[in-house]
Amino acid sequence: MAKKISAAKAAELEKEAQMQESMRLQEVDIIVENRLVALCALQTVDSQIDKIRIIRGELPLEVRDLEDEIAGLQTRISNLQSEISGAEKAVVDYKNAIEEHKELIKKYTKQQENVRNNREFESLNKEIEFQNLEIQLCERKIKDSIAKGKERHQQVEIAKNLLSTRQGDLDAKKVELEEITKETEIEEVALFEKSKELEQAIDERYLKAYKRIRLAARNGLAVVGVDRDACGGCFNKIPHQRQMEIKMHKKVIVCEHCGRILIDEDIREKSEERIR
Ligand SMILES: [Zn+2]
């Protein structure tokens, strides 16, 4: 009798144990699934933050490049303008020099009227010849200086046009940067808060792994889907058996090539609900 009761009881206990085990396993499944959903949601939010930072990240750099270019053009224009003034001054100086040479010629010509001999006359003639050569040299230099001034004027015009274009570009970029900063600031703060909130739903071990993979990955992706039988992160093929395991949500499956956490569409859909 006792044996019979105990057998029935044993069967009952066995059944209960089985049920408990089954419930425990179901709970484990739910925990794993929730973990995957939270990881996927966190990835989506973090990727949105990355995107904002990338958009804004390039603009300040572009603004700085333009500012550097504008400063360079301003220096160039001011250098060209001092070269123009130098050329103008040279023209005046050479003109004055010509006058001086002419005065000397006048003086030597007058002296020739009072020479005592032919040698003195010839000597003065040589002086006059020399002054004439000097005048020719000055005239050539005046021509060169005028040509140089003209060339520099043209270069200033080109630089000024470029400067005004770049100034326009800079103004536009600055406005764009300001707008993006204003627009994204609120969004970014909200995403950041959401990210922190999602992080709290993930155990430290998985969160650490997630952050480590994300840091190492150039695109910041630690959680990826399976795309055409391949890992969405490194594009290596994923064996069929592993793809089945991913779909079962019974454990966290990582890509054996890149270590990224792999999820299926179902998890992705659930994660989208989670973000809302
Ligand atoms: Zn991979």
Report the separation in Å between the CA atom of 259 and the middle of ligand 1, taken as the mean of its atom positions: 6
The residue written with tokens 């006058």 in the block is 99
What share of the chain has pLDDT > 90, as a percent?
Answer: 76
CATH number of this structure's domain 58-184? 1.10.287.1490
Cα(247) to ligand 1 centroid in Å equals 16
Mean pLDDT of the 170-199 span: 91
pLDDT at 11 over 70: yes
Task: Pull the structure tokens for residue 206.
Answer: 């998985």
- Residue 65 pLDDT more than 90? yes
Cα 248 to middle of ligand 1, angstroms: 19
Strand 223-227 to 261-263 pairing: parallel
Domain range list for the chain: 58-184
CA 45 to ligand 1 center in whole angstroms: 21
CB atoms within 10 A of CB 45: 23
Closest-CA residue to 238 (of 224, 252, 226, 247): 226
Write the pLDDT tens digit of every residue in 82-118.
999 999 999 999 999 999 999 999 999 999 999 999 9
Check residue 217 and report its DSSP letter: S
CA distance 174 to 171: 5
pLDDT digits (tens, 9 = 90+) for 216-249: 888 899 999 999 999 999 999 999 999 999 999 9
Mean pLDDT of the chain: 92
199 CA distance to ligand 1 centroid (A)? 23
Burial 87-123 (b: 16+ CB within 10 A, else e): beebbeebeebbeebeebbeebeeebeeeeeeeeeee
